[in-house]
Amino acid sequence: MDTLRIALLQLNTTVGALGSNREHIVTLAGLAQQKGAQLALFPEMTLSGYPPEDLILKPHFIRAAEAELQRLCAELPPELICVVGCPIQGLLRPRNAAVILHRGKILAAYAKQQLPNYGVFDERRIFEAGDRPMCLQIGEARIGLHICEDSWIHASPELRMFAKLNLSGLINLSASPFHRGKLPEREQTLHKTSAEVKAPLAYCNLVGGQDELVFDGGSLVIQPNGELLCRADRFQENMLLVDLPLATASGPDPQPLPDQVDWVVIDQIAPQRPPLPPPTLAPAMSELEEIYEALCLGLRDYTNKSGFKDVLIAISGGIDSALVAAVAVDALGADRVTGISLPTCFSSEGTRNDATLLAENLKIDMPMVPIQGLVDSFLNLLKPQWPGREEDVTEENLQARIRGTLVMALSNKFGRLVVATGNKSEMATGYATLYGDMCGGYALIKDVPKTVVFDLCRWSNEQQGYDRIPQSLIDRPPSAELRADQQDCDSLPPYEILDAILTRYIEQDQGRDEIVAEGFDADIVTRVIRLVDGNEYKRRQAPPGVKITPKAFGRDRRMPITNHFKPNPHPAPTK
């Protein structure tokens, strides 16, 4: 045997859908066998979906998962060796495992040793870590096993041990979520691990949306010298086939290490097929393309997996709702997207016209329902309660809250998922109305900074070949249109400055002095930090939305609501 044919099956599963996940695995395993695969890899926690969160702590969930694993074992093609990610019961707590299935039997289970506990991960809270590496001896091939984070910890005793075993390859089952800039970081890490074990690394990653997280696939095989043998398409299901050369399989007998490595020997394997054509690399994506694809996949899966047939979007004629509507149409189809326009006396003719033109370009229904009469009725009722008080943000927020009430009523009546339209810059500074424009079941662009919203709209129009999102809408200065002649810059710094400060304060955890030292105005930085810190209570009540930055609100950044800490309250004197 000169090569071992491996199928990397990056598939989209649903958390908790044990039966349908099992059926999906069986279907794709059958396709892999038809293509001559001898070893099939499935992503981390494929059977249960990832991340299962506190489902793992329910004993009846683990029992149900293990029962489905037994059914899966009986239904897989018998000659195909399958490595499937799923939870299993450990000594004290469940384990995140890679289970080896062959000829109707569970041969062994490798438990993930490195449990991540940062960012979106808190695996140490729910899983029990494994304590022994595992190696498969498949004919002449020696294959080490990893699960996701295992390959992220370098210079570990386990990797040094694998380097001594003269491996034919290292396989990694992964559920690595997307954020912008993640792909080169991931590939550099995998290259370093491959170089440490002196063997090719086959990395099989999950794909699909799960609440805030999007898994982008991009499964690959990388050589110790950094050469990519093949890479799967991202943001979609894919089967990646590769004939792994076994020239490195000869070497010292591993049996002197029985107390340090769990060794699984498989002698009966499927016969080889004619060689595959040369492997291919899926084309690279620009940053804007991958963000847009992540938004589409996140919304599509959240909508479908939550059982909604269609979505509802309040379209103002501004850039945020325009981007949300365009993504929704590309993700779900125009027939599953409904808009509604709810203008008041402050809604300009330009925004009304742009909202109508956008709906026409997207080919979606968008009734226009003026709400000034409702606003006046509310004010007539409320003004006697505050005699003599001047108009302020109360009257502005009232308009947004009336809109929120109406879109939620339509959601109830028609069973539509309301997609909120606030961006990350607004969520960070509190420039959004609680129970108003923050209403909804999914806040699609809550992790997309305002400057990136503009970039995505321009990019989308370039891909369409015309101004599907009206250019006048992109060119108009942003405004909430809740009072006369209002512009966002009346309340916030210019977005180019604001987003640069927010990136440093939120994603890079810089303090006030560090940000000021980079050339930003001290008063503006102080004001932005005060806005961010003072609006945690709003963000805690916001709907989930797609994570696209390295540090999103919610899963990544968990701050106390009542918080008296003031970063750098006494700035160092300037020289």
Catalytic residue set: 44, 112, 148
CA distance 99 to 66: 11
Residue 245, strand partner residues? 3
Place of tokens 């990694």: 172
Phi-psi region of 53 (alpha: psi -120 to 50; beta: other; left: phi over 0): left
Beta strands in 124-237 (DSSP E): 134-138, 141-147, 169-174, 201-205, 207-210, 213-216, 220-222, 228-231
CA–chain centroid gap for 36, Å, is 32
Write out the H or E segment, with its range, that includes residue 158: helix 157-164
Count other Cβ atoms within 10 Å, centred on residue 217.
29
Tokens of 392: 């302020």
Give me the count of residues in the chain.
575
- Residue 178's nearest CA partner among 217, 218, 151, 214 is 214
Tokens of 97: 């495992």
User: From residue 1, how far is each of 144, 250, 353, 552 by CA, in Å?
Assistant: 18, 12, 68, 48
For the sheet containing 311-314, what is the strand order? 337-340, 311-314, 417-420, 442-443
- Residue 567's nearest CA partner among 496, 486, 508 is 508
Is 4 in contact with 40 (CB distance < 8 Å)? no
Q: Is the dihedral of CA 492, 497, 499, 504 positive or negative?
A: negative
User: From residue 286, how far is each of 69, 70, 183, 283 by CA, in Å?
Assistant: 39, 43, 11, 10
CA distance 457 to 471: 9
Q: Are strands 39-41 and 3-10 parallel, antiparallel or unpaired?
A: parallel
CA–chain centroid gap for 553, Å, is 13
Is 227 in contact with 68 (CB distance < 8 Å)? no
CA distance 167 to 195: 12
Tokens of 513: 């002095």
**Which of the 8 DSSP states describes residue 489?**
G
CA distance 190 to 201: 7
Residues in contact with 180: Cβ distance below 8 Å, sequence separation at least 6, in sequence order: 287, 290, 291, 548, 549, 550
**Which of the 8 DSSP states describes residue 46?**
T
Count other Cβ atoms within 10 Å, centred on residue 384.
7
CA distance 338 to 11: 30
